[in-house]
Structure 1
Amino acid sequence: MTLDAIDTALIDILREDARISINALADRANISRSNAYARLHRLTEAGVIRGFTVRTDPIREGYHTSAYVALSIDQSEWKPIRQRLTALPEVRHIALVGGEFDVLTLVRARDNQDLRRVVLQEMQAIPGVRSSRTFLVFEDLDTPTPSPRLASTSASGSP
Protein backbone atom coordinates (compact mmCIF):
# COMPACT_ATOMS: atom_id res chain seq x y z
CA MET A 1 0.00 0.00 0.00
CA THR A 2 1.33 3.42 -0.95
CA LEU A 3 0.67 6.25 1.49
CA ASP A 4 0.04 9.74 0.25
CA ALA A 5 0.61 13.00 2.15
CA ILE A 6 -2.90 12.92 3.67
CA ASP A 7 -2.48 9.34 4.93
CA THR A 8 0.87 10.32 6.45
CA ALA A 9 -0.65 13.39 8.08
CA LEU A 10 -3.47 11.31 9.58
CA ILE A 11 -0.99 8.83 11.02
CA ASP A 12 1.15 11.60 12.51
CA ILE A 13 -1.90 13.24 14.08
CA LEU A 14 -2.98 9.90 15.56
CA ARG A 15 0.53 9.31 16.93
CA GLU A 16 0.16 12.52 18.91
CA ASP A 17 -3.35 11.68 20.15
CA ALA A 18 -5.01 8.38 19.25
CA ARG A 19 -8.13 9.48 21.15
CA ILE A 20 -8.80 12.40 18.82
CA SER A 21 -12.34 12.53 17.46
CA ILE A 22 -12.90 11.88 13.77
CA ASN A 23 -14.13 15.49 13.41
CA ALA A 24 -10.98 16.90 14.99
CA LEU A 25 -8.83 14.51 12.93
CA ALA A 26 -10.49 15.72 9.73
CA ASP A 27 -10.09 19.38 10.77
CA ARG A 28 -6.40 18.97 11.57
CA ALA A 29 -5.75 17.18 8.26
CA ASN A 30 -7.87 19.71 6.33
CA ILE A 31 -10.14 17.04 4.83
CA SER A 32 -13.81 16.16 5.16
CA ARG A 33 -15.06 13.97 7.99
CA SER A 34 -16.15 11.25 5.54
CA ASN A 35 -12.73 11.29 3.84
CA ALA A 36 -10.98 11.02 7.22
CA TYR A 37 -13.22 8.14 8.26
CA ALA A 38 -12.73 6.30 4.95
CA ARG A 39 -8.95 6.75 5.05
CA LEU A 40 -8.73 5.68 8.69
CA HIS A 41 -10.78 2.58 7.87
CA ARG A 42 -8.58 1.80 4.82
CA LEU A 43 -5.35 2.26 6.82
CA THR A 44 -6.67 -0.02 9.56
CA GLU A 45 -7.95 -2.70 7.17
CA ALA A 46 -4.64 -2.69 5.27
CA GLY A 47 -2.75 -3.22 8.54
CA VAL A 48 -0.84 0.06 8.33
CA ILE A 49 -2.54 1.04 11.59
CA ARG A 50 -2.35 -2.08 13.73
CA GLY A 51 -4.28 -0.73 16.68
CA PHE A 52 -4.63 1.98 19.24
CA THR A 53 -2.96 1.78 22.61
CA VAL A 54 -2.19 3.55 25.85
CA ARG A 55 1.35 4.64 26.70
CA THR A 56 2.04 4.64 30.40
CA ASP A 57 4.83 5.96 32.58
CA PRO A 58 6.51 2.78 33.85
CA ILE A 59 7.60 4.42 37.13
CA ARG A 60 4.09 5.65 37.94
CA GLU A 61 2.77 2.24 36.97
CA GLY A 62 5.04 0.69 39.62
CA TYR A 63 7.88 -0.58 37.41
CA HIS A 64 10.93 1.09 38.93
CA THR A 65 13.54 -1.01 37.12
CA SER A 66 13.83 -1.39 33.36
CA ALA A 67 16.43 -3.23 31.32
CA TYR A 68 17.16 -4.38 27.84
CA VAL A 69 17.99 -8.06 27.99
CA ALA A 70 19.91 -9.47 25.04
CA LEU A 71 19.67 -13.23 24.50
CA SER A 72 21.78 -15.68 22.59
CA ILE A 73 19.55 -18.55 21.49
CA ASP A 74 19.52 -21.71 19.46
CA GLN A 75 18.03 -20.38 16.20
CA SER A 76 15.99 -23.55 15.67
CA GLU A 77 14.16 -22.80 18.95
CA TRP A 78 13.07 -19.25 18.01
CA LYS A 79 9.32 -19.92 17.76
CA PRO A 80 8.95 -21.67 21.14
CA ILE A 81 11.26 -19.09 22.75
CA ARG A 82 9.14 -16.27 21.29
CA GLN A 83 5.99 -17.88 22.71
CA ARG A 84 7.53 -18.21 26.17
CA LEU A 85 8.84 -14.62 26.14
CA THR A 86 5.47 -13.19 25.09
CA ALA A 87 3.89 -15.02 28.03
CA LEU A 88 6.05 -13.09 30.51
CA PRO A 89 4.12 -9.94 31.55
CA GLU A 90 7.34 -8.10 32.36
CA VAL A 91 8.60 -8.45 28.77
CA ARG A 92 7.29 -5.39 26.94
CA HIS A 93 9.08 -5.69 23.60
CA ILE A 94 10.81 -8.49 21.71
CA ALA A 95 12.98 -8.14 18.61
CA LEU A 96 14.81 -10.81 16.65
CA VAL A 97 18.06 -9.05 15.71
CA GLY A 98 21.29 -9.66 13.87
CA GLY A 99 24.67 -9.18 15.47
CA GLU A 100 26.30 -10.35 18.66
CA PHE A 101 22.93 -11.39 20.16
CA ASP A 102 19.86 -12.99 18.60
CA VAL A 103 17.01 -11.47 20.60
CA LEU A 104 16.62 -8.11 22.31
CA THR A 105 13.87 -7.66 24.90
CA LEU A 106 12.68 -4.73 26.99
CA VAL A 107 11.86 -5.84 30.52
CA ARG A 108 9.94 -3.73 33.06
CA ALA A 109 10.21 -4.96 36.65
CA ARG A 110 9.00 -3.75 40.03
CA ASP A 111 12.56 -3.54 41.39
CA ASN A 112 16.02 -5.08 40.96
CA GLN A 113 15.03 -8.27 42.78
CA ASP A 114 12.06 -8.70 40.43
CA LEU A 115 14.33 -8.08 37.42
CA ARG A 116 16.74 -10.71 38.72
CA ARG A 117 13.86 -13.20 38.98
CA VAL A 118 12.66 -12.48 35.44
CA VAL A 119 16.12 -12.77 33.86
CA LEU A 120 17.67 -15.59 35.87
CA GLN A 121 14.65 -17.73 36.74
CA GLU A 122 12.22 -17.09 33.90
CA MET A 123 14.21 -16.19 30.78
CA GLN A 124 17.29 -18.34 31.45
CA ALA A 125 15.01 -21.33 32.12
CA ILE A 126 13.56 -21.24 28.59
CA PRO A 127 14.92 -24.17 26.56
CA GLY A 128 17.12 -22.88 23.75
CA VAL A 129 18.28 -19.73 25.59
CA ARG A 130 22.06 -20.08 25.77
CA SER A 131 23.00 -16.84 27.53
CA SER A 132 21.80 -13.36 28.37
CA ARG A 133 23.25 -9.93 28.92
CA THR A 134 21.37 -7.25 30.83
CA PHE A 135 21.61 -3.51 30.15
CA LEU A 136 19.98 -1.38 32.85
CA VAL A 137 17.93 1.60 31.72
CA PHE A 138 18.72 4.75 33.70
CA GLU A 139 16.22 7.01 31.94
CA ASP A 140 13.42 6.43 29.42
CA LEU A 141 12.65 8.99 26.76
CA ASP A 142 9.72 8.72 24.38
CA THR A 143 10.67 10.31 21.11
CA PRO A 144 8.16 11.44 18.54
CA THR A 145 8.01 9.24 15.48
CA PRO A 146 7.33 11.53 12.53
CA SER A 147 6.76 9.94 9.19
CA PRO A 148 9.89 9.80 7.01
CA ARG A 149 8.22 12.08 4.48
CA LEU A 150 7.47 14.77 7.06
CA ALA A 151 10.87 14.42 8.71
CA SER A 152 12.63 15.03 5.41
CA THR A 153 10.52 18.08 4.58
CA SER A 154 11.11 19.63 8.02
CA ALA A 155 14.84 19.01 7.73
CA SER A 156 14.95 20.79 4.40
CA GLY A 157 13.06 23.77 5.80
CA SER A 158 10.09 23.27 3.46
CA PRO A 159 6.59 23.15 4.96
Structure 2
Amino acid sequence: MSASKPREFTGRHMLLVTCTFFGVIISVNLVMAISASRTWTGLVVQNSYVESQRFDDKHNRIRAQVEAGWRFATSYEDGKLVFRASDADGAVLPLEQVSAFIHRPVGGHDDQTLPLTPSESGYAAAVALPSGVWDVIVTTGETSLGPIEFERRVTVP
Protein backbone atom coordinates (compact mmCIF):
# COMPACT_ATOMS: atom_id res chain seq x y z
CA MET A 1 0.00 0.00 0.00
CA SER A 2 1.22 3.39 -0.82
CA ALA A 3 0.66 6.17 1.64
CA SER A 4 -0.63 9.32 0.02
CA LYS A 5 0.67 12.54 1.34
CA PRO A 6 -2.11 15.01 2.46
CA ARG A 7 -2.15 18.29 0.57
CA GLU A 8 -1.03 21.35 2.48
CA PHE A 9 -3.19 24.42 2.94
CA THR A 10 -0.93 27.17 1.71
CA GLY A 11 -1.08 30.93 1.61
CA ARG A 12 -2.18 30.68 -2.02
CA HIS A 13 -5.24 28.66 -0.93
CA MET A 14 -6.09 31.24 1.73
CA LEU A 15 -5.81 34.05 -0.81
CA LEU A 16 -8.16 32.18 -3.18
CA VAL A 17 -10.75 31.56 -0.39
CA THR A 18 -10.62 35.21 0.75
CA CYS A 19 -10.94 36.62 -2.79
CA THR A 20 -13.83 34.26 -3.58
CA PHE A 21 -15.65 35.20 -0.36
CA PHE A 22 -15.39 38.94 -0.92
CA GLY A 23 -16.14 38.55 -4.64
CA VAL A 24 -19.47 36.88 -3.85
CA ILE A 25 -20.36 39.56 -1.24
CA ILE A 26 -19.51 42.44 -3.57
CA SER A 27 -21.41 40.83 -6.50
CA VAL A 28 -24.55 40.33 -4.43
CA ASN A 29 -24.38 43.91 -3.11
CA LEU A 30 -24.02 45.29 -6.65
CA VAL A 31 -26.99 43.27 -7.92
CA MET A 32 -29.17 44.42 -4.99
CA ALA A 33 -28.12 48.09 -5.35
CA ILE A 34 -28.84 48.12 -9.09
CA SER A 35 -32.19 46.40 -8.56
CA ALA A 36 -33.18 48.84 -5.82
CA SER A 37 -32.27 51.90 -7.87
CA ARG A 38 -34.29 50.73 -10.87
CA THR A 39 -37.50 49.73 -9.08
CA TRP A 40 -38.73 52.30 -6.54
CA THR A 41 -37.62 55.82 -5.81
CA GLY A 42 -38.72 55.70 -2.17
CA LEU A 43 -40.43 59.07 -2.54
CA VAL A 44 -43.68 59.16 -0.57
CA VAL A 45 -44.18 62.91 -0.14
CA GLN A 46 -42.37 65.87 -1.66
CA ASN A 47 -41.74 67.66 1.63
CA SER A 48 -41.97 65.62 4.84
CA TYR A 49 -41.86 68.72 7.08
CA VAL A 50 -44.90 70.29 5.41
CA GLU A 51 -46.79 66.97 5.56
CA SER A 52 -46.03 66.63 9.27
CA GLN A 53 -47.59 70.06 9.85
CA ARG A 54 -50.76 68.98 8.01
CA PHE A 55 -51.05 65.71 9.95
CA ASP A 56 -52.98 67.01 12.98
CA ASP A 57 -55.46 68.94 10.83
CA LYS A 58 -56.07 65.91 8.67
CA HIS A 59 -56.42 63.63 11.71
CA ASN A 60 -59.00 65.93 13.36
CA ARG A 61 -60.96 66.23 10.12
CA ILE A 62 -61.10 62.44 9.67
CA ARG A 63 -62.14 61.97 13.30
CA ALA A 64 -65.03 64.46 12.88
CA GLN A 65 -66.20 62.68 9.71
CA VAL A 66 -66.12 59.27 11.44
CA GLU A 67 -67.97 60.62 14.49
CA ALA A 68 -70.65 62.06 12.17
CA GLY A 69 -71.18 58.55 10.80
CA TRP A 70 -69.85 59.22 7.32
CA ARG A 71 -68.87 56.07 5.43
CA PHE A 72 -66.65 55.80 2.35
CA ALA A 73 -65.87 52.97 -0.05
CA THR A 74 -64.17 52.52 -3.41
CA SER A 75 -64.46 49.70 -5.90
CA TYR A 76 -63.71 48.86 -9.50
CA GLU A 77 -66.78 47.44 -11.23
CA ASP A 78 -67.41 46.82 -14.94
CA GLY A 79 -64.71 49.20 -16.15
CA LYS A 80 -65.70 51.95 -13.73
CA LEU A 81 -64.04 53.28 -10.61
CA VAL A 82 -66.81 53.93 -8.09
CA PHE A 83 -66.57 56.02 -4.91
CA ARG A 84 -69.42 55.84 -2.41
CA ALA A 85 -69.83 58.46 0.30
CA SER A 86 -72.81 58.26 2.64
CA ASP A 87 -73.93 59.92 5.85
CA ALA A 88 -75.10 58.18 9.04
CA ASP A 89 -78.54 57.55 7.50
CA GLY A 90 -77.08 55.96 4.36
CA ALA A 91 -77.90 58.89 2.08
CA VAL A 92 -75.34 59.83 -0.57
CA LEU A 93 -73.32 62.89 0.46
CA PRO A 94 -73.57 65.81 -1.97
CA LEU A 95 -69.93 66.44 -2.93
CA GLU A 96 -68.16 68.79 -5.28
CA GLN A 97 -64.83 68.55 -7.08
CA VAL A 98 -64.51 64.79 -6.57
CA SER A 99 -61.37 63.31 -8.12
CA ALA A 100 -59.40 60.09 -7.80
CA PHE A 101 -55.66 59.65 -8.12
CA ILE A 102 -54.91 56.06 -9.17
CA HIS A 103 -51.45 54.55 -9.02
CA ARG A 104 -49.58 51.30 -8.51
CA PRO A 105 -48.36 50.79 -4.92
CA VAL A 106 -44.75 50.49 -6.10
CA GLY A 107 -43.07 51.77 -9.19
CA GLY A 108 -44.41 55.24 -9.96
CA HIS A 109 -45.91 54.26 -13.31
CA ASP A 110 -49.43 54.10 -14.72
CA ASP A 111 -50.46 57.05 -12.52
CA GLN A 112 -53.60 58.95 -13.49
CA THR A 113 -56.03 61.45 -12.01
CA LEU A 114 -59.73 61.10 -12.88
CA PRO A 115 -62.64 63.46 -12.23
CA LEU A 116 -65.53 61.52 -10.68
CA THR A 117 -69.07 62.46 -11.63
CA PRO A 118 -72.30 61.71 -9.77
CA SER A 119 -73.93 58.37 -10.65
CA GLU A 120 -76.68 56.17 -9.27
CA SER A 121 -74.20 54.36 -7.00
CA GLY A 122 -72.17 57.37 -5.86
CA TYR A 123 -69.42 59.00 -7.91
CA ALA A 124 -67.84 57.21 -10.84
CA ALA A 125 -65.46 57.45 -13.79
CA ALA A 126 -64.88 55.04 -16.66
CA VAL A 127 -61.30 53.77 -16.69
CA ALA A 128 -59.63 50.65 -18.06
CA LEU A 129 -57.32 49.32 -15.37
CA PRO A 130 -55.03 46.38 -16.11
CA SER A 131 -55.20 43.54 -13.61
CA GLY A 132 -53.25 43.92 -10.41
CA VAL A 133 -53.18 46.04 -7.28
CA TRP A 134 -53.97 49.77 -7.38
CA ASP A 135 -54.01 52.48 -4.74
CA VAL A 136 -56.88 54.95 -5.06
CA ILE A 137 -56.84 58.34 -3.33
CA VAL A 138 -60.16 60.18 -3.56
CA THR A 139 -60.26 63.89 -2.71
CA THR A 140 -63.16 66.30 -2.67
CA GLY A 141 -63.80 69.99 -2.28
CA GLU A 142 -64.90 71.50 1.03
CA THR A 143 -67.74 69.90 2.97
CA SER A 144 -69.32 70.88 6.28
CA LEU A 145 -66.61 68.78 7.99
CA GLY A 146 -63.72 69.71 5.73
CA PRO A 147 -62.50 68.15 2.50
CA ILE A 148 -62.52 64.37 2.20
CA GLU A 149 -59.29 62.48 1.58
CA PHE A 150 -59.96 58.76 1.33
CA GLU A 151 -57.35 56.20 0.38
CA ARG A 152 -58.01 52.56 -0.33
CA ARG A 153 -56.29 49.69 -2.16
CA VAL A 154 -58.25 48.04 -4.98
CA THR A 155 -57.42 44.71 -6.63
CA VAL A 156 -58.42 44.25 -10.26
CA PRO A 157 -58.70 40.56 -11.25
TM-score of the aligned structures, taking structure 2 as reference length:
0.24
Higher relative contact order (CA 8 A, sep 6+): 1
> Max radius of gyration: which structure?
2
Higher strand content, 1 or 2: 2
Higher helix content, 1 or 2: 1
TM-score of the aligned structures, taking structure 1 as reference length:
0.24
